[in-house]
Amino acid sequence: MAANGEKHKVSCAMDHIIQAQMKGEISEENVLYIVENINVAAIETTLWSMEWAIAELVNHPTVQRKIRDEIRAVLKGSPVTESNLHELPYLQATIKETLRLHTPIPLLVPHMNLEEAKLGGFTIPKESKVVVNAWWLANNPEWWEKPSEFRPERFLEEERDTEAIVGGKVDFRFLPFGVGRRSCPGIILAMPILGLIVARLVSNFEMIAPPGMEKIDVSEKGGQFSLHIASHSTVVFKPIKA
């Protein structure tokens, strides 16, 4: 109990949160629910995206090769770190393409209007559940070229100005983290974490389907919110000699 004591020393996030409770800003219960939110909203969603990214990379060896070549050409042997991720546009495009095709929360977290509201000429009765089909916005063939193809190049070519952002000059066809007040604040952690792990794996290994299989199964399975890969992939990691 008295591990941290009266002079509450602040090092990790929980220390800040407990400090806010000690100042009377939030209750002890709120502290618990912050931990609950991080456990489900931050960890699981990012894990689904990693599984999708790896599955697509196994099925698209050329994409792996291009990421590897980019890292080699740009960083000339130094490791990929958070501070040099922005120098690797093809890697970033691969992450965006994964989130576009396999939006982990395809209908975003549902919204609700406390009062009756108007939308596109319709009356939305109060307390309706309102969902934005973010997956469809990013996969509608009217707005995207061959949307069912996994092709990171699109984000360097015809979609080079389309960014994964939650504010500012947003392209409303691409909202993997939502946008505005209720958008996912975790974007600031998720994008670099996804970029770094893909870079680490691709620079160290050739990722291939297990013996006897050509491709990895990328069928999807959904729940009330989530979109994950139906069967967790088995992947062979062949070390690349440094």
Partner 1 sequence: MFGNWLQVGNDLNHRLLASMSQTYGPVFLLKLGSKNLAVVSDPELANQVLHTQGVEFGSRPRNVVFDIFTGNGQDMVFTIYGEHWRKMRRIMTLPFFTNKVVNQYSTSWEQEMDLVVDDLRANEKVRTEGIVIRKRLQLMLYNIMYRMMFDAKFQSQEDPLFVQATRFNSERSRLAQSFEYNYGDFIPWLRPFLRGYLNKCRDLQQRRLAFFNNYYIEKRR
Q: Which range touches partner 1 (CB under 8 A), out of 3-11, 68-76, 88-96, 150-158?
A: 3-11
What is the rounded CA–CA span in Å between residue 66 and residue 89? 11
14 binds partner 1 (CB under 8 A): yes
Provide φ and ψ at 229, rounded to 5°.
-70, 140
Distance, CA of 194 to CA of 56 (rounded, Å): 14
Q: Does 84 bind partner 1 (CB under 8 A)?
A: no
Is 69 or 180 the residue whose CB approaches partner 1 more closely? 180
Q: Whole-number minimum distance, CB 142 to partner 1, in Å?
A: 10
Using CB under 8 A, which residues numbered 15 to 74 contact partner 1? Answer: 15-18, 20, 25-27, 29-44, 46-47, 50-51, 54
Question: What is the distance between the alpha carbons of residues 104 and 177, in angstroms, rounded to a whole number?
Answer: 9
Q: For residue 129, state whether it binds partner 1 (rule: CB under 8 A).
A: yes
Query: In the set 69, 87, 127, 217, which binds partner 1 (CB under 8 A)?
Result: 127
Site membership for partner 1, residue 230 (CB under 8 A): no
Q: Is 134 in the site for partner 1 (CB under 8 A)?
A: yes
> Whole-number minimum distance, CB 226 to partner 1, in Å?
6
CB-based contacts of 116, cutoff 8 Å, min separation 6 = 123, 124, 125, 126
CA distance linking residue 151 with residue 134, whole number of Å? 19
The DSSP secondary structure of 181-217, one letter per residue, reads TTS-TTHHHHHHHHHHHHHHHHHHEEEEPPTT-SS--
Q: Tell me whether residue 99 or residue 227 sits nearer to partner 1 (CB atom).
A: 227
Residue number with CB closer to partner 1 (15 or 69): 15
Contact 81, 150 (CB under 8 A): no
